[in-house]
A and B are shown apart, each in its own frame.
Chain A
């Protein structure tokens, strides 16, 4: 029996070591893939909004139907983009890719409109996740200021994003959780969709400026998360797995 003990130990430790190494590598590879998918998706949305904003800036007084038709074409070709809307400098809705004619709607109280109207440049602002007042569907606003040729603000163009498109759910490790956070520690989207993260955990994630492995506890359960930061868009992506899961 004593002679078999080293084999038992070798078997035990090789299995445990393999599982722990595999676990960290596994979430890292899936996190890198999810981050790449997010980056590609956001870049496409960013490009569509940049092109659309140039159209609005070039011809702000164009016929609304023409603008509506063109914005709808961008939406049709850009995954994750549900609608593009544009306001004037007072925050009043002027063009909507979804509805023509656009509704008589004052959006000046919306955080993303206020932020973009006060912006000094055309940087993309990723707002907080919201629920549509009429649709009831979750969305994330991507907003950018519109300027005239004298650099005076003309209004705001906003992409209404379906956040589910930011995650590639069919390419994820078994029993893993993927989550996207903005710099304000808000969850933009997660899978499973109703995953809830305590504030101290999201703060720890955001503290990892360069990303990497985060070992944390949620409700007394150990969880390891591989964090990747997309600095250009101020988004953090985490792929997590509870320690007792393979």
Chain B
């Protein structure tokens, strides 16, 4: 009888400890990815502060376009995942572009990242939805913020284009795990694996469960332990699931 009791106790202890370990590991793994994503977006955000500030001063208009193009490229090289930066005037006309020199004649007024940046009234950042590249169809994530002149009027928009895959640190994702980053309105920014479809409706999930809490959740009838967490400073959330 005593032996049976001890055996049961050992099994119970091992099971509850393993369960606690999975919860701890999952919280840490989700927090790690959230800190990584925040760091990548923060770097692009800070870069756009510099670029929009540069074009807010009227002296900048006197600088040679090629010098500006080279300067924009130096900013791009500093930030992991940032592919290009460019600016437009208040009518959406492309003015300076890190990607091509001389700058193409192009009007971008119909783009959501231009329209939404023009509506911002402060030092905020607009994070768009991923756009398919026109040539090889990979996703690009636009980030934008308005350019204010010295009188506080909007004179244009500064835009950064990122590859959203960089927001996830893939080598740190466990083998039986799937991860996605969403805007709080439910738009998916990126996931790993990239073709992942099977995750819950994030908006509903956030309403049903508090953040940073590991919950048992069936995804397509497969049992998982799932957690969501905020990406601090931005309207983004990260969803991390471990298939049991």
Q: Which residues of B contact A37 (CB under 8 A)?
A: 35
Closest to B52 in A: A73
Establish whether residues B42 and A11, one from each chain, have CB atoms under 8 Å apart when the complex forms: no
B9: contacting residue among A11, A43, A59, CB under 8 A: A11
Bound Cα distance A73, B124 (Å): 10
Total contacting residues, chain A, CB less than 8 A: 39
State the Cβ distance, A80 to closest chain B Cβ, in Å.
Answer: 11
Q: Tell yes or no: B218 within 8 A of A by CB.
A: no
State the Cβ distance, A238 to closest chain B Cβ, in Å.
Answer: 17
Q: Tell yes or no: B78 within 8 A of A by CB.
A: yes
Q: Tell yes or no: B70 within 8 A of A by CB.
A: no
Knowing A22-B17, A77-B123, the reply to whether A33 touches B28 (Cβ < 8 A) is: yes
**Stretch among B43-51, B89-97, B129-137 lining the A interface:** B43-51
B residues 1-45 with Cβ under 8 Å of A?
2-3, 6-7, 9-10, 13-14, 17, 21, 24-25, 27-28, 31-32, 35-36, 38-39, 42-43, 45
B residues 226-244 with Cβ under 8 Å of A?
232-233
A74: contacting residue among B2, B21, B49, CB under 8 A: B49
Establish whether residues A73 and B53, one from each chain, have CB atoms under 8 Å apart when the complex forms: yes
Q: Which residues of A contact B46 (CB under 8 A)?
A: 44, 47-48, 51, 74, 77-78
Q: Tell yes or no: B57 within 8 A of A by CB.
A: yes
Establish whether residues B233 and A79, one from each chain, have CB atoms under 8 Å apart when the complex forms: yes
Q: Tell yes or no: B154 within 8 A of A by CB.
A: no
Q: Which residues of B contact A15 (CB under 8 A)?
A: 13
Interface contacts beyond A29-B25, A44-B42, A74-B49: sample of 5 additional A-B pairs, CB < 8 Å, sorted by A: A11-B10, A33-B35, A40-B35, A79-B42, A79-B232
